[in-house]
Amino acid sequence: MCERHGVVPGLHGFAEPSVHTLLQHVAASPLPTWLPWPVPEAWSLAGCGRVVEHTTVATVMALSGPDPLGGPGDMLLVAEEPGVGLGARYGALRSPDPGAVVANRPADARVVVGGHPTPLWFVDPPADDRQVVVGEASGRWLWMIFWPPLAGASVLLDASTLVDLRDLVGELEVVPLTGLSTRLGLEG
C-alpha cells in the first residue's frame, strides 16, 4: 500500500544481471522491456524487473554509466499499462499517468522504439535530481528516468533507438552487464 497511490501491484524479478536472469525475465513477461541498442558507450545493463498483478503490467530496465560531468549516471526505462504508476513513482510524480502533462503539446524529442518513430515529452519532476521523459510505445507508457538530469541529454543523443529485450535473446552475451542498480528499489 502506497500512501500517495493506494494499492500498488508487486514489483518482482530483481537479481544480479546475468544472461540467465535476462532470459528468465523475457520468458516471464509478455510486455516489452526496452533497451537502448546499441547500448551507449560506457553504459551497462544494471538489472530488470516487472510489476505483476495477475499478469505482468509493467517492466523496468536499469542501466548505469557515466555522468557527462563526472561521477555515476543511472537510467531506468519503464514500459507499463496505463494506471500502473511505476514510471511516475520512479519519476517522483504525483499522478500515475502523464496524460495531462503531454496532452496538446508538441513533442520535445523523438526516438525509434521497436522500429517506429516515437515522440517523447520532457516532464518536470518535483525532484530536481532527475530528468523524466515520457512517450507511448506499443500501446503502453514509455518512461525514461535519468540521474543526474544531464545524463539524460547525453544518453538521448547517443541512444536514439530502443529495442525490446525479447528481440535480443540471441545477442544477450554481448549486452554489457554490471552490478544491480540501487535505483530499482522504490526509495527514490
What ranges do the domains of the chain cover? 10-180
Q: Grid coordinates representing 62?
A: 536499469
8 A C-beta contact, residue 172 and residue 7: no
Q: What average pLDDT score do residues 150-161 get?
A: 83
Q: What average pLDDT score do residues 41-60 get?
A: 91
pLDDT bin (cut points 50, 70, 90) of residue 183 is very high
- pLDDT tops 70 at residue 155: yes
pLDDT bin (cut points 50, 70, 90) of residue 188 is very low
pTM of the predicted model, to two decimals? 0.91
pLDDT bin (cut points 50, 70, 90) of residue 5 is very low
What is the spatial distance between Cα 155 and Cα 46, in angstroms, rounded to a whole number?
Answer: 15
pLDDT bin (cut points 50, 70, 90) of residue 177 is very high
Share of the chain above pLDDT 90, in %: 64
Q: Grid coordinates representing 149?
A: 538530469
3-state SS, the chain, equals CECCCECCCEEECCCCCCHHHHHHHHHHCCCCCEEECCCCCCCEEEEEEEEECCCEEEEEEEEEEECCCCCEEEEEEEEECCCCCHHHHHCCCCCCCCHHHHCCCCCCEEEEECCEEEEEEEECCCCCCCEEEEEEECCEEEEEEEECHHHHHHHHHHCCEEEEHHHHHHHHHHCCECCCCHHHCCCC
